Amino acid sequence: MIFGQDHLLGIEPLHPDEIRSLLDLADRYAEQNRSGQRPDPVLAGLTQINMFFENSTRTQASFELAGKRLGADVMNMGVATSSVKKGETLIDTALTLNAMRPDLLVVRHGSSGAVNLLASKVNCAVLNAGDGRHEHPTQALLDALTIRRAKGRLHRLTVAICGDIAHSRVARSNIHLLGKMENRVRLIGPPTLLPPGAVDWGVEVFDDMAEGLAGADVVMMLRLQKERMDGGFIPSEREYFHRFGLDAEKLAKARDDAIVMHPGPMNRGVEIDGTIADDINRSVIQEQVEMGVAVRMAAMDLLARNLKARNTPRRVMV
Ligand code: ASP
């Protein structure tokens, strides 16, 4: 098993072999979860704190379930009830938490880079559950596992990532991961929602769905991240759906066996037609959620192994 990381902060620092190891382990957890078999409690005696400074439904629930399945003591720190609302700085919050001696800290934050900063101040393993528009590594890993299971491989595939790329940490983590595994990545969206410089990322860029989807094996739709928009990025949601929303006509341009993905939460009728999202012959959206639990079990298992192997005395690093 190759996985040399102390934290899971992003996909960018990972070696392709580390990604493969994590996915192999997650695959085994996925099968165990399906069979109803109880996994070994490899996190027993460890404390996991989930700290979500931004709202989350599926990611937080998924991390909580993953930790509990593996026997960890799991605590959710609600931001609404935390001292952050009283003006405490991120670093002070981190040091307070560190003093409670957690082993695994799962953090989501609205600012890009906040989770990396926090990881440098604590001495437990930190997992990034999404930071601003930077990275969302467990999302890309669960997407990769879903693709690998559906397509039988995770290389030499044409993957179209469509919609609001500019505000999406999901897109960034997926671009890193799919590129490392030697896939062809296409970004499709209106120029206002494509980050400047995207052409330098080793991807192809399109502003027309029919062109970008032609021959794609995987169609990954993204949510319009209205909470990160401060101006008029699209003329109207109706117009956006007309040009970039995934419907049967646009999907027909992709390969006949192309799968449809969405990280959730979905805006039905804005970026995706509800009928396509619910079509069990094309959509793997529910499977993505299922793989999320398995991937998070694998990530926490591997980080806990490294934590135990290091077995360093705990220090607060300021
Ligand atoms: N749930 C994903 C995220 O937290 C995608 C989204 O919110 O659109 O980034």
- Residue 100 CA, ligand 1 centroid: distance in Å: 29
- Residue 275 CA, ligand 1 centroid: distance in Å: 21
pLDDT digits (tens, 9 = 90+) for 136-157: 999 999 999 999 999 999 999 9
Residue 90 has what pLDDT? 83
Residue 315 has what pLDDT? 47
Report which protein residue has its CA nearest ligand 1's atom 4: 130
Residue 229 has what pLDDT? 74
Residue 226 has what pLDDT? 79
Q: Verify cis geometry, omega within 30 degrees of 0, for the bond prior to 13.
A: no
Residue 316 has what pLDDT? 45
- Determine whether the shortest distance from the Cβ of 169 to ligand 1 is under 6 A: yes
Residue 80 has what pLDDT? 56
pLDDT digits (tens, 9 = 90+) for 169-184: 999 999 999 999 999 9
List C-alpha distances in Å: 169 to 9, 123, 135, 176, 231.
12, 25, 5, 11, 19
**Can you tell me which atom of ligand 1 is nearest the CA of 59?**
1
Name residues of the chain where pLDDT drops below 50: 315-318
Residue 137 has what pLDDT? 98
- Determine whether the shortest distance from the Cβ of 136 to ligand 1 is under 6 A: yes
- Residue 16 CA, ligand 1 centroid: distance in Å: 24
**pTM for the predicted model, two decimal places:** 0.95
- Determine whether the shortest distance from the Cβ of 130 to ligand 1 is under 6 A: yes
Residue 32 has what pLDDT? 97
